[in-house]
Amino acid sequence: METTDLKHQECISTLRPIRDALDVLNGKWKLPIIVALTFGEKRFGEISREVHGITDRMLSKELRDMEVNGLVKRKVYDTYPVKVTYILTPHSQTLGGVIESLRNWGELHRKKILSGEV
């Protein structure tokens, strides 16, 4: 294996975690759901009402996905009718820096594009 191949391999393995991170954040609804849960533990119906436009199907799907990724915790109360709440996990808090970074660059990018700088 020669130098350029080594470099290439290094970059490929660098790419994997980046893709992981992007996948966790991606899709139309994950960020809005995180925002909704930022203000505290919420029930399914509450999130549904706060994240404007989301359907029950997508909310259900995204919450399950986020639970698998350890971003939210699902709590079931044994009442009738059943009550289910979702809450952000400590792990989700570690996303703060990434989101900040994305936001800052997004703002910079928008400014440059609008000013015709790029």
Q: At what angle do helices 30-38 and 3-25 cross, to 10 degrees?
A: 60
The interface region with DNA, picked from 14-22, 42-50, 93-101, 102-110 by CB under 7 A, is 42-50
| CB-CB contact of 84 with 75 (8 Å) | yes
According to CB under 7 A, which one of 31, 46, 50, 73 is a site residue for DNA? 46
Task: Determine, following the binding rule CB under 7 A, whether residue 60 of this chain makes contact with DNA.
Answer: yes
Tokens of 9: 């391999």
27 binds DNA (CB under 7 A): yes
Asked if residues 77 and 83 have their Cβ atoms less than 8 Å apart, the reply is yes
Element (H, E) at 85: strand 83-88
Nearer to a copy of itself among residue 12 and residue 82 (C-beta): 12
Which of DNA, a copy of itself, none has residue 58 at its interface (CB below 5 to 8 Å by kind)? DNA
CB closer to DNA out of 86 and 92: 86
- Token readout for 16 is 């994997």
d(CA 40, CA 111): 33
In angstroms, give the least distance from the CB of 41 to DNA. Answer: 11
Residue ranges that bind DNA, judged by CB under 7 A: 27-29, 43-46, 53-58, 60-61, 63-64, 74, 81-85
